Amino acid sequence: MSNVNTRRLVAKLWSYCDVLRDDGVSTIDYVEQLTYLLFLKMAHEQATRSLNRVTSLAPVADCWQELLDLAGDELEKSYRHTLENLGQGYDTLGVIFRKAQNKIQDPAKLKRLIKDLINQEQWSSQDVDVKGDAYEELLARSAEDIKTGAGQYFTPRALISAMVECIQPRPDDTIVDPACGTGGFLLAAHQYILDHYESQLTPDQRHGLENGTIRGIELVDGTARLAAMNMLLHGIGRPNGRSLIEVRDALAEAPDRFPRVVLANPPFGKKSSITVIGENGSRGREDIAYERKDFWVTTTNKQLNFVQHIATMLDIPGRAAVVVPDNVLFEGGAGETIRRRLLKQYDVHTLLRLPTGIFYSGGVKANVLFFDRKPARPDEPWTTTLWVYDFRGDQHFTLKQSRMEPHHLNDFVACYRPGEPRENREPTERFRPFTYDELIARDKVDLDITLVRDSSLDNAADLLPPDVIAREIVEDLEAALSEFAAIAEALQQAKDGKTTAEP
């Protein structure tokens, strides 16, 4: 039944997005406005219900009632002031409303969104999975709006699930994503713990899961608010408690928390606006710099800096699964230094080579690097064997018609053997071990290892096969037709609603 309710909620909320596009409101802007209004509505419900009333939310509840009572320019003005006033603190409320702006300039459309779409539902009475899954679906749809850049913050669910299943988070683990986007890894880790340990959780463990053992850091205000709301809708955190999503640059300073688990897909792109000064004392040419004495080397490559940051922040023992682009595996200079140090000081045990077509940025070549941190062992390297799973050769996906689904990664998870000694692993065509000595002997410690040749690249490097290109064109056309149909339906609904409302 929850799937039916989820689809109903998504269809209802999404139906108005096409109407607002005519006013220049992108899909990600629309979801952001829904975030503000959903929070105000739920605060109103929780502050005015007869049982278990949350009195601390009373001021926010009054804001919602005021929006319901007003119309026209007064509504737009009140909404704008409400957003400005609520974004002051450091609690979840402050994160959600930090630098918030009203993107819906037409008061009539704002009124309909408030009264006819949001206010008609009792959100606090919805099951956590229903409203949480509905919000996740809205985020997934907004990520398809590539022009807004939303896709850079969205990791495919199938990949998230596989990474979490391999890492196997436990109730006592502290879990952090230092570039959390909309919170996908954090939610998946939380759900994994509930699925596997819920009946065994102690009161302290349950309290920790809801209030702080799972945390995220996000640089972009708009994305952080989506993550904070996503966590709340899944029952993690408290509206008036300290936010579990911190808005800051994770690379700017040494970590003050040392989690047992790190799951992350840091933003792609080589250059950073800030140069990091590492233990070698060198610095780049940037005018702005900050020191990270805990780093091995200085570089302006964001991905290499995130690898260093995640390695540094892990507790002992600790385990990490990190999405990295290809250049992290083969780049010389700082990249080679980092790979040498990582292989020696950490147990870098698994590398998953990912195919293209699974991220919203086209042509991205990425991998997942799994490594563990253990007590210092200066005389011998911690990495003994790196197992490489090549999921690239002859694998082609698109974001619509031929999406990567969870079952596509079942073979990798089976080869990984979560929870088992790695001695139990067995090589296959796609899965092979490489010893530490073999890796160190490679030129520049190059980990860009191919096991399965992609036959489509024999004659034209990096070009997709014609049938895949054709499928992508068909998907774009079908998506356009669907959008036109949705617009027509929304306009008809608006016409019917107006006819019904006016005598």
CATH for 127: 1.20.1260.30
Answer for the pair 315, 258: CB distance below 8 angstroms, yes or no.
yes
Q: What is the pLDDT of residue 357?
A: 74
Tell me: the pLDDT tens digits for 156-165?
889 999 999 9
For residues 366 and 485, state if they share a domain: no
Residue 97, CA distances (Å) to 4, 86, 93, 222 in order: 31, 6, 6, 9
- Looking up residue 391, the CATH number of its domain turns out to be 3.40.50.150
**From edge to edge, which strands make up the β-sheet containing 431-435?**
245-247, 214-218, 175-177, 261-264, 318-325, 366-373, 346-353, 385-390, 431-435
Tell me: the pLDDT tens digits for 27-83?
888 888 888 888 888 888 888 877 766 666 776 778 899 999 999 999 999 999 999
Q: pTM for the complete prediction? A: 0.81
For residues 400 and 496, state if they share a domain: no
Give the pLDDT band of residue 441 (cuts 50, 70, 90). Answer: very high
Share of the chain above pLDDT 90, in %: 43
Domain boundary residue among 95, 122, 137?
A: 137
For residues 298 and 320, state if they share a domain: yes
Tell me whether residue 448 is in a domain: yes
Q: What is the pLDDT of residue 46?
A: 81
Q: What is the pLDDT of residue 177?
A: 97
Domain boundary residue among 103, 137, 171?
A: 137
Tell me whether residue 327 is in a domain: yes
**Of 14-23, 236-245, 337-346, 460-469, which one has max mean pLDDT?**
337-346
For residues 433 and 499, state if they share a domain: no
For residues 339 and 442, state if they share a domain: yes
Half-sphere exposure of 411 (CA within 13 A, CB side): 9
For residues 491 and 407, state if they share a domain: no
For residues 50 and 117, state if they share a domain: yes
Give the pLDDT band of residue 26 (cuts 50, 70, 90). Answer: confident
**Of 21-30, 286-295, 348-357, which one has max mean pLDDT?**
348-357
Q: What is the pLDDT of residue 307?
A: 96
Domain that holds residue 486: 465-503
Mean pLDDT in the chain?
82
Tell me whether residue 263 is in a domain: no
Q: How many residues in the chain?
A: 503
Tell me: the pLDDT tens digits for 199-248?
999 999 999 988 889 999 999 888 888 888 888 878 888 877 888 999 99
Answer for the pair 126, 4: CB distance below 8 angstroms, yes or no.
no
Answer for the pair 234, 134: CB distance below 8 angstroms, yes or no.
no
- What's the average model confidence in pLDDT over 405-414? 94
Instruction: Considering only CA atoms, give the Rg of the chain.
Output: 24
For residues 358 and 416, state if they share a domain: yes
* Domain count of the fold of the chain: 3
Distance CA 361, CA 152 (A): 7
Q: What is the pLDDT of residue 273?
A: 52
Q: What is the pLDDT of residue 290?
A: 58
Tell me whether residue 53 is in a domain: yes
Tell me whether residue 453 is in a domain: yes
Main-chain dihedrals φ then ψ at residue 434, nearest 5 degrees: -130, 130
Distance CA 17, CA 15 (A): 6
Q: Is the pLDDT of residue 258 over 80?
A: yes
